[in-house]
Structures are given as C-alpha cells and as structure tokens.
A and B are shown apart, each in its own frame.
Chain A
C-alpha cells in the first residue's frame, strides 16, 4: 500500500487505497456482466456466479454486502470453523435455512441481549436475504437494497 487519501462521497465516505494490485474495476455498460479470468476477493463473500464462472457485475458486490449484513445481524464470521462437526461452514450456508424458516430472531447476535429495533431488524434481514439470492439476475441492485433498508413502517 503506497498511499491512502480520502474522497468525500456525499453523506458517506470511500477510502481510496492505491496499491500494487487492485481489485476494483469498471463495470460493464453494454452487457450485464463481464468474464474475469482472475477471481479475486475473499472467501466467504464470493457470489456463486463469480466464484464458479468469473462473471463480474455489480451484483457480486451486492452478494458480498449481504454477507456483511449477516455479520452485523448475527455477530458471526463469514467462515466459521467452530461448528460441532469440526467442518468449516459459511455464514450464508448457516443463515439460508433460518431465513427460509422465517425464524429470524434465531439469526440475531446473542450479545445484543434482545436490544434491537424490530422494524429495522426485519428490514435488514429482508435486505440480507435478497442480497444473497443465488441467481444474480434475481438479486436486487444496490439502489433497491437501500430502498428496502430505508422503508418506513407505513410501507409494509
């Protein structure tokens, strides 16, 4: 890492990191995805279509964002080696059946001790669940995810 500078981005910020290797890239404008031979990124956050076929689109960031949401909700790590069978299990593999069962409270980080906003929790769980949709074309884009998280109670 040679240099870091701060770039003001409306209400939030991105830190731009310059290094000898880079991960960020321009997205496609004429097609829905591009194929990349070099699959870079971090295990546990990789979207299935990127991991298996190298297909890159904005939807791979959406998938990884879903994993970050699950981390924030559950307090678990993206890859957990502390399962009872001693196998490593991804956060997505752990969370999917719980999301499908609708028992969302069992996703919650026990350290929260039940202190959470119910409406916000449901919106965040819904957003996470949409983000980790297996099929990229059915996965929402970031704008739709933000709208999901910002929905007011009256939108239900």
Chain B
C-alpha cells in the first residue's frame, strides 16, 4: 500500500537518468542526513531496549518520497527468532 504513496527510486538510478531528473547536491545531502538519522534511531532504539542492526543498508533499500525524503526499508521478521 505504502508503495503507491512513494516513488520507488533507487538512488543510483537517479544518477543514471537524464540530467533533469538527477538528484541535485542539495537533495543528495538531505538524503544522506535522513538515512543517517534513521540508522541512528534504529541503533539507539529507545535507549532502554537493545539496538537494532539493519544488516542490509544499501541504496536500493532507500525509497524516496516526494521532496526526496528518504525512507529506509527494514526487513524485520527474524527479530524475535534471533532474540534468545
């Protein structure tokens, strides 16, 4: 469902496209800081509980919504299985 709300753009695909759809420097910096903040949040995870390690950080796991807001896809199902 959320896929319909976001443009699924792989970062490097944008770089390969024609100049008019390429990420500007400003957008690239914004995307970088956004991903960094998301990972920092996962690693801290409420301060009291255990940190979450993503293990598959890559550009194709970053979706950009309008305005180039980055969203980090995280695959979660094994969290409970590994937590023993």
Contact = CB atoms under 8 A, between A and B. Distances in A.
Interface of A: 4-6, 9-29, 40-42, 44-45, 56-58, 60-62, 64-65, 67-69, 71-73, 75-78, 109, 111-112, 115-117, 120-121, 124, 127, 141-143, 145-146, 149-150
A141 B40 CA distance: 8
Given A60-B53, A111-B15, A10 B37 contact: yes
Nearest to B56: A23
13 contacts: A5-B2, A12-B34, A15-B71, A22-B75, A22-B81, A23-B55, A27-B52, A71-B59, A120-B25, A142-B43, A143-B43, A149-B33, A150-B33
Contact of B12 (A65, A75, A145): A75
Given A60-B55, A64-B58, A15 B72 contact: yes
| Range, interface on chain B | 35 or more
Contacts of B12: 71, 75-77
Contacts of B26: 117
B71 A12 contact: yes
A27 B11 contact: no
Interface of B: 1-3, 11-12, 15, 19, 22-26, 28-29, 31-44, 50-59, 62-63, 69-79, 81-83
Given A5-B2, A12-B41, A65-B36, A42 B79 contact: no
Given A45-B57, A150-B33, A112 B41 contact: no
B18 to A, nearest CB: 10
B73 A17 contact: yes
A146 B52 contact: no
A22 B79 contact: yes
